[in-house]
Amino acid sequence: MQEPSPVVVSMEFSEICEHFEQLEQTSSRLEKTGIVTSLLTRAHRDEIPIVVQLILGSVFPTWSTEKVGVGEKLLIKVVADVTGLTEGTILGYLKDTGDVGRAVEQAMENKKQVMFLTEDLSLSRVYDDLTKISQYEGKRSQDKKLKILAGLLTNASPLEARYLSRIVVEKMRTGVAEGTVRDGIARAFGMPSDVVEKAFMVSNDMGLVAKKACEGEEALSTLSLMLFRPIKMMAAQKVSTVEEGFEIVGTPCAVEYKYDGFRMQIHKEGSKVRIFTRRLEDVTRQFRDVVGVVRENIGGDCIIEAETIGIAEDGRWLPFQQISRRIKRKYDIDEIIDKIPVMTNVFDVLYLNGESMIDEPFKSRRQKLEKIVTSVPRKLVLSEMVITDDAEEARTFFSESLSLGNEGVMLKNLSSPYTPGLRVGHMLKLKSVLESLDCIVIGAEWGTGRRAHYLGSFHLAVLDENNMPVMIGKVATGITDEMLETLTERLRPLIEYEEGKMAHIKADLVVEVAYEEIQKSPHYESGFALRFPRLIRMREDKGPEDADTIERVYDIYESDML
DNA sequence: ATTGTCTGCCC
DNA sequence: ATTCTGC
DNA sequence: GCAGAATGGGCAGACAAT
């Protein structure tokens, strides 16, 4: 059992919720920062980390293994229990408002049951109960979670219920996330914003950052790069041509294969090795094969970064779908290691023998990396890279990369530092030109949040052998506000019937959808699905009979396999 | 023992 | 992952 | 140009229902 929070007088949860509502009502970035600052100033010192975590819309920091384990469905069940309304009624509110929090709030306002003995919720009560919920597992655990959550909701005002719900499902929608909280912390405690930012990059725990900031700049600066504390990974910008890339990154630059696997940050000290994913989850257990090869073939204590891909017996690289079977594996790990062997392509070093490397230029990091890695063919290699200022050479390298089954190339500025978490012009990705399909819209789903009251997601079909539409996936991105409106009005009269948020739509409209790749689908009727689909445009010049066919999809799939 | 639904996390 | 939008 | 939000396919695991 969890110890109660060590606080004498806990902040009222309602006070926090009032701040949340203010945040929701302003769109000004600066004003939001001000509201966060004011909330932090009001919070009791000991409760600051919790307040910060809740502002971010979760109970635990991202690296934590603790999860509340309550999603939208279970939440609605709880609300039905508490209010005496049916789940159907609440789902109706959800569809009307397009927001879980508002739906629960509305349910609380319209509840059938009259409550007695309600007490004010304190922050510590909310936090302790949510922590308790996270600890239940096994048989009947959902029921136990439900009971505690029901207890909280029973004592919550409608406004508190709104935010309690959003915290539980991790969808705050106040327009505040890490960036604003970082600025708010800097302002509240008079810290330089970049110091706060750095502390967050290496700790990935905003609550902890706030606590240290509250103690002073010296305490804050103790959060620095350390072995076995994963740091935020550098992100890449997208470009669409080599020239555009050269322009941003400068020449000569590094051009590297962009492998289609898992990004890994590997920490090593002597024989101790731990592996973290992009979201800084620890996946050491799942990849003990990688641990072994790293332990034997990388010299020194270090933090390195790599992309790990699946590799077949003939040496060809496996599609992402296959290696993805390894990441969540908890049982029979040795079996899957045998079945889906991997190759780790190392491309950066962030820490080496007691020294941070992140401020070193990329070129010298790469040189150091080459000294510590002993290549083991098909297991552990340096990423393929050339350094060039010749666009033609870069393009050739790019095509070569694609032909091997990679996603494209990365372009890197040779003198750039490693910038954790940032997507600045130091590192770029260049992917292949997209293919597209003309698909029939056969269904749609009512959207949420800013897409409430619009159809926000569209079900796509191609024509089968009998010219009947068969589903091949959904698309929901690439849509401007204007298009969203047009699509909704265009499709509204074609709705045949609705089931919850789903609308079944008469085959009539054709849309062009671009995608990265065609995959085998275990789920869709057509047997195929689109990877990273995005809407390009409506094809009013085409009728459903002119849509692309399953034969064409099959042909593209086959030719992509080569 | 099997199946279906939900959740969280890879891309 | 991709994309759009407001600041 | 950043920060935030809304949405994609698919996988394993955890539970609940059958």
Instruction: Tell me the mean pLDDT in the region A174-186.
Output: 97
Task: For residue A65, tell me if it sits in a domain.
Answer: no
Instruction: Tell me the mean pLDDT in the region A12-22.
Output: 98
Which residue reads 């090795």 in tokens?
A: A273
Task: Tell me the C-alpha distance between A52 and A46, whole Å.
Answer: 11
Cα dist from A373 to A275, A326, A346, A368, whole Å: 16, 24, 8, 9
For residues A398 and A251, membership in a common domain is answered with yes
Instruction: Tell me the mean pLDDT in the region A107-136.
Output: 89
Q: How many CB atoms lie within 10 A of CB A423?
A: 13
User: In this model, does residue A3 exceed pLDDT 80?
Assistant: no
pLDDT (0 to 100) of residue A1: 45
Q: Which of A332, A411, A343, A419 is nearest to A376 (CA)?
A: A343
For residues A208 and A314, membership in a common domain is answered with no
Q: What percent of chain A has pLDDT over 90?
A: 94
Domain count for chain A: 4
* 3-class secondary-structure state, position A549: strand
Cβ proximity of A325 and A387 under 8 Å? no
Q: Is the CB of A30 under 7 A from strand C?
A: yes
User: In this model, does residue A6 exceed pLDDT 60?
Assistant: no
User: In this model, does residue A55 exceed pLDDT 50?
Assistant: yes
Cβ proximity of A162 and A102 under 8 Å? yes
For residues A376 and A504, membership in a common domain is answered with no
Instruction: Tell me the mean pLDDT in the region A343-353.
Output: 98
Q: Which of A554, A528, A524, A542 is nearest to A439 (CA)?
A: A542
Alpha helices (H) along A298-376: 320-327, 333-339, 362-372
Q: Is the CB of A285 under 7 A from strand C?
A: no
For residues A153 and A181, membership in a common domain is answered with no
Give the rounded distance of the alpha carbon of A204 from its chain centre: 14
Task: For residue A473, tell me if it sits in a domain.
Answer: yes
**What is the pairing mode between strands A272-276 and A380-382?**
unpaired
User: In this model, does residue A234 exceed pLDDT 60?
Assistant: yes
Å: A366 CA to D14 C1': 43
Kindly report the backbone phi and psi dihedral angles of residue A480, in degrees, each rounded to the nearest multiple of 5, phi listed first.
-80, 165
For residues A300 and A425, membership in a common domain is answered with yes
Instruction: Tell me the mean pLDDT in the region A497-523.
Output: 96
Task: For residue A233, tell me if it sits in a domain.
Answer: no
For residues A361 and A406, membership in a common domain is answered with yes
Å: A146 CA to D16 C1': 14
For residues A448 and A416, membership in a common domain is answered with no
Report chain B positions within 7 A of protein CB atoms.
Answer: 5-11
* DSSP category for residue A175: S
pLDDT tier for residue A185 given thresholds of 50, 70 and 90: very high
User: In this model, does residue A494 exceed pLDDT 50?
Assistant: yes
Task: Tell me the C-alpha distance between A214 and A216, whole Å.
Answer: 5
Q: A299: domain CATH number? A: 3.30.470.30
- Higher-pLDDT residue of A28 and A1 is A28
- Annotated catalytic, A258? yes
Task: Tell me the C-alpha distance between A50 and A126, whole Å.
Answer: 10
Token pair for residue A263? 């990004």
Task: For residue A225, tell me if it sits in a domain.
Answer: no
pLDDT (0 to 100) of residue A116: 64
SS3 content of chain A, % helix, strand, coil (to 5): 45, 25, 35
Task: For residue A234, tell me if it sits in a domain.
Answer: no
Task: Tell me the C-alpha distance between A254 and A385, whole Å.
Answer: 7
Task: Tell me the C-alpha distance between A513 and A475, whole Å.
Answer: 8
Å: A451 CA to D7 C1': 10
Report chain C positions within 7 A of protein CB atoms.
Answer: 1-7
Token pair for residue A275? 């592996």
Which residue reads 């009001």 in tokens?
A: A42
For residues A206 and A307, membership in a common domain is answered with no
For residues A294 and A404, membership in a common domain is answered with yes
pLDDT (0 to 100) of residue A248: 95
Token pair for residue A310? 């699946």
Instruction: Tell me the mean pLDDT in the region A161-184.
Output: 97
Q: b vs e for A320-359, b when ≥16 Cβ sit within 10 Å of the residue's Cβ? A: bebbeebeebeeeeeebbeebbbbbbbbbbbbbeeebbbe
For residues A155 and A185, membership in a common domain is answered with no
Give the rounded distance of the alpha carbon of A11 from its chain centre: 31
Task: For residue A228, tell me if it sits in a domain.
Answer: no
Minimum-distance residue to D8 (CA–C1'):
A532
* DSSP category for residue A229: S
Long-range contacts at A175-180 (CB < 8 A, ≥ 24 apart): A175/A23, A175/A24, A175/A27, A175/A32, A176/A23, A176/A32, A176/A36, A176/A55, A176/A56, A177/A56, A177/A57, A178/A56, A178/A206, A180/A29, A180/A32, A180/A33, A180/A36
pLDDT (0 to 100) of residue A112: 79
Cis before A6? omega within 30: no
Task: For residue A327, tell me if it sits in a domain.
Answer: yes
Determine the nucleotide nearest to A281 by Cα–C1' distance.
B9
Instruction: Tell me the mean pLDDT in the region A120-142.
Output: 96
For residues A307 and A286, membership in a common domain is answered with yes
Q: Is the CB of A282 under 7 A from strand B?
A: no
User: In this model, does residue A417 exceed pLDDT 70?
Assistant: yes
Reported as type and span, the H/E element at residue A80 is helix A72-83
Single out the residue in A220, A254, A283 at which a domain terminates. Answer: A220
Å: A146 CA to B4 C1': 21
Å: A73 CA to B4 C1': 14
Render pLDDT for A372-382 as a digit per residue (tens, 0 to 9): 999 999 999 99
pLDDT (0 to 100) of residue A562: 76
* Residue A308, strand partner residues: A262, A344
Across all residues in chain A, what is the average pLDDT? 95
Kindly report the backbone phi and psi dihedral angles of residue A264, in degrees, each rounded to the nearest multiple of 5, phi listed first.
-130, 135
Cβ proximity of A494 and A544 under 8 Å? no
The per-residue DSSP string of A123-136 comes to HHHHHHHHHHHHH-
User: In this model, does residue A8 exceed pLDDT 70?
Assistant: no
Instruction: Scan residues 317-356 of chain A and list those with Cβ within 7 Å of strand B.
Output: 320, 324, 327-328
Single out the residue in A378, A403, A431 at which a domain terminates. Answer: A431
Domain that holds residue A44: 13-57+175-220
Which residue reads 């990935």 in tokens?
A: A204
pLDDT (0 to 100) of residue A278: 95
Q: Is the CB of A269 under 7 A from strand B?
A: no
Task: For residue A184, tell me if it sits in a domain.
Answer: yes
Which residue reads 């302002």 in tokens?
A: A187
Å: A287 CA to B10 C1': 14
Task: Tell me the C-alpha distance between A174 and A155, whole Å.
Answer: 23
Token pair for residue A87? 């789940």
Instruction: Scan residues 158-187 of chain A and list those with Cβ within 7 Å of strand D.
Output: 171-181
**What is the pairing mode between strands A510-515 and A534-538?**
antiparallel
Minimum-distance residue to D1 (CA–C1'):
A424
Q: A121: domain CATH number? A: 1.10.3260.10
Render pLDDT for A301-339 as a digit per residue (tens, 0 to 9): 999 999 999 999 999 999 999 999 999 999 999 999 999
Q: Is the CB of A70 under 7 A from strand B?
A: yes
Q: A547: domain CATH number? A: 2.40.50.140
* Alpha-carbon torsion (A148, A154, A160, A166), positive or negative: positive
Exactly one of A32, A145, A211, A258 is catalytic; name it.
Answer: A258
Reported as type and span, the H/E element at residue A303 is strand A302-310
For residues A391 and A297, membership in a common domain is answered with yes
Single out the residue in A369, A397, A431 at which a domain terminates. Answer: A431
Task: Tell me the C-alpha distance between A361 and A355, whole Å.
Answer: 14
CB-based contacts of A475: which residues, under 8 Å, 6+ apart?
Answer: A439, A457, A458, A460, A511, A513, A530, A533, A534, A535
Cβ proximity of A266 and A304 under 8 Å? yes
